[in-house]
Structure 1
């Protein structure tokens, strides 16, 4: 009974770590609930499998086996983006690590490993010291605009159509039979975010003005 209570207590600690990573770091940036279920379930299952294996040597071997299997996992119906695969990789590795450290009372190592992981994820998600570009692929019908001398007009046309603050353009596959081109456009994520903030602020101001008319 005491061992079962200890496993539950360790699980609560591990779950708190996972909650911080998924709810407070991953979700605010993505606003995508599709992978939240997967992250929590995989982490929970791996932690309990590890916690119920009493033999340390066996648990380490099984843990690395699970780690290897799930880290290369691909769903046939939907390819997991590399960013979500990275989070899944982290959230499978952590329960293996946490189960071993908490079971062996390695609390200092547990704290260092988890705080370091959370810190790195938080800094990278905030983009401190980094400039991130987002890429979108567009099928463009004005194939005459892809000539190098027309790129300023091409950039202006794409910005007007998409509303994106485009930084650079790459011409991909050309289809002269249909007069279309695959164009990769790159834009600054922070610039787009600031546009959204200004737009939301403007909407709030207009809503406030409308309220005063009553």
Structure 2
């Protein structure tokens, strides 16, 4: 169990601080990932050490599943970090008797998260909700306005809300930021 705990703590610190926090700088989620991971590890370890009825195990995980993630809005990316934090706790709690398997799975999970969330892989593509102080009837005018305001090439602009009374449009925009190195030359 102590080997599993040590591997779990190293893995969650690498995920939460080494990868997530250094890229996204959200201290609240750093703490949430660590707490959730250690909690999952503790529950799984207890279930494995203390022979309990499977219904108790399902009940505990049912209880965990109804806890709603209440915070400021979190992205799909941050939900993925939650999921991997849970999986690391499960892997290390269950596979404590098989440290090589747990170590391999930890390495795979951390490597996947490192690469999948790397800026080099994602390039310069961004997503943002933009509130405009104008309503555009023509999609081409909307795109041109967004490109002017964002100083970027718009890939997709999906209107999510229009308020004709206040003359406001909310748009979910996917865009590519210009390469600053190329523009300096």
Report the TM-score, using the length of structure 1 for normalisation: 0.67
Residue 104 (structure 2) pairs with residue 116 (structure 1): no
Structure 1 runs not aligned, ≥5 long: 1-6, 203-214
Instruction: State which drifts further: 109-118 or 43-52.
Output: 43-52
Superposed displacement of residue 30, structure 1? 0.7
Distance 2:64 2:84 in 1: 11
1:169-197 deviation line (CA, Å, top 9, x unaligned)? 33343222222222222223xx37x64xx
Structure 1 residue 126: Cα displacement: 1.2
1:82 corresponds in structure 2 to 76
Q: Distance between the aligned counterparts of 2:7 and 2:161, measured in 1?
A: 51
Between stretches 82-91 and 62-71, larger displacement belongs to 62-71
Instruction: Tell me the residue number matched to 1:36.
Output: 30
Shift of 1:35: 0.8
The superposition leaves residues 87-112 of structure 1 with CA deviations (integer Å, 9 ceiling, x where unpaired) of 2222122222212211x2x1221122
Provide closer, same or farther for how the CA distance between residues 61 and 82 of structure 1 changes in structure 2, counting only shifts above 3 A. farther
Residue 210 (structure 1) aligns with = none
Question: Equivalent residue of 1:177, what SS?
Answer: coil
Q: Which runs of 5+ in 2 are unaligned?
A: none
Distance (Å, rounded) in 2 between the aligned partners of 1:120 and 1:62: 33
2:8 is equivalent to residue 14 of structure 1: yes
Partner residue in 2 for 1:205: none
State the match for 2:158 in structure 1: 170
Equivalent residue pairs, number: 182
Whose Rg is larger? Answer: 1
**Aligned pair partner of 2:146 in 136, 155, 159:** 155
Query: Contact 2:5/2:92 (CA < 8 Å) preserved in 1?
Result: no
The residue aligned with 1:206 is none
CA distance in structure 1 between the aligned counterparts of 2:24 and 2:31, rounded to whole angstroms:
14
CA-atom RMSD in angstroms: 3.3
Indicate conservation of the 8 Å contact 2:7/2:92, yes or no: no
> How does 1:124-139 map onto structure 2 within 5 Å?
124-126=116-118, 129-130=121-122, 133-139=125-131
Between 171-180 and 62-71, report the one with greater CA deviation.
62-71
Decide whether the 8 Å contact of 1:172 with 1:182 is kept in 2: yes
Q: 1:120 to 1:75 in 2, by over 3 A?
A: closer
Name the SS for the 1:35 alignment partner.
helix
Residue 57 of structure 1, CA deviation: 5.9
